[in-house]
Structure 1
Amino acid sequence: MNLIRAKSIEKGWDLKLGELARIWKGGCIIRAVFLDRIKKAYDRNPELSNLLVDPEFAKEIVDRQSAWRRVVCLAINSGISTPGMSASLAYFDTYRRGRLPANLVQAQRDYFGAHTYERTDIPGSFHTEWFKIAKQLKI
């Protein structure tokens, strides 16, 4: 829904996401009660930026996240691929953070190609001689 919302804004389509949920329920195999809940969320707030910030959806996701994490961990530990559940959990974790771990990606890029990185405590671009530090620490 968030992707559809973003494209609707970009293209000026003015899509009504609650109405889309209603149409989908009546016209395809996705005749789930879940679509009714999506429609109600957009009826409550037509400008809803994401279902994760709807009070009812947010409460349910937060209440169930421990079980969700256990299922994903059990699947991973059992060698069972759960790309949808795993990616959704990663999306949830990313969406609820004020700061993301992009600094790790920056550090990796700097390590392998001297691409520099930014820090959160001081402005500017930095490069670290990672091999020299590792040699000094005898890693």
Structure 2
Amino acid sequence: AADLAAVTEIGARRFAAGWSLAELGAELGRPDSIFLVVPQRGYALARVVEADCRLLDLAASADGGGLGRALLAALGLAAKSRGCEKISFEVSAANARALDFYGKAGAKVVGRRPKFYYDGSDAVLMDLDLR
């Protein structure tokens, strides 16, 4: 429960509407979820769907210490151990920092959803190959 509270706090720092405790609890109760937490610093939350690991959220402290890269790498290992061949996710086209982060990690743009987010920005669909 303490980890869940820390995750909601980390998420709220990034988004006005982060994950609620109830939403996190429901997600963690799913057998297909992967949840990695570094207390007070970051987390990764994903769901396995056949050979696809769908990244729902990745948040790390913005100190540049490599925690985001470490969480993404650990998620890749966890996903591979469950038979996943890729991690798929979406990023707001307005979030240049996230697009740069995932691009440097090797993710490729595979599509776009126009005006997907509340602010009218497009969703950039990305895949990170785990093979």
TM-score range, shorter chain: under 0.3
Structure possessing the higher radius of gyration over alpha carbons: 1
Query: TM-score by structure 1 length?
Result: 0.24
Instruction: With a CA cutoff of 8 Å and minimum separation of 6, indicate the structure with the bigger relative contact order.
Output: 2
Query: TM-score by structure 2 length?
Result: 0.25
Q: Which has the higher helix share?
A: 1
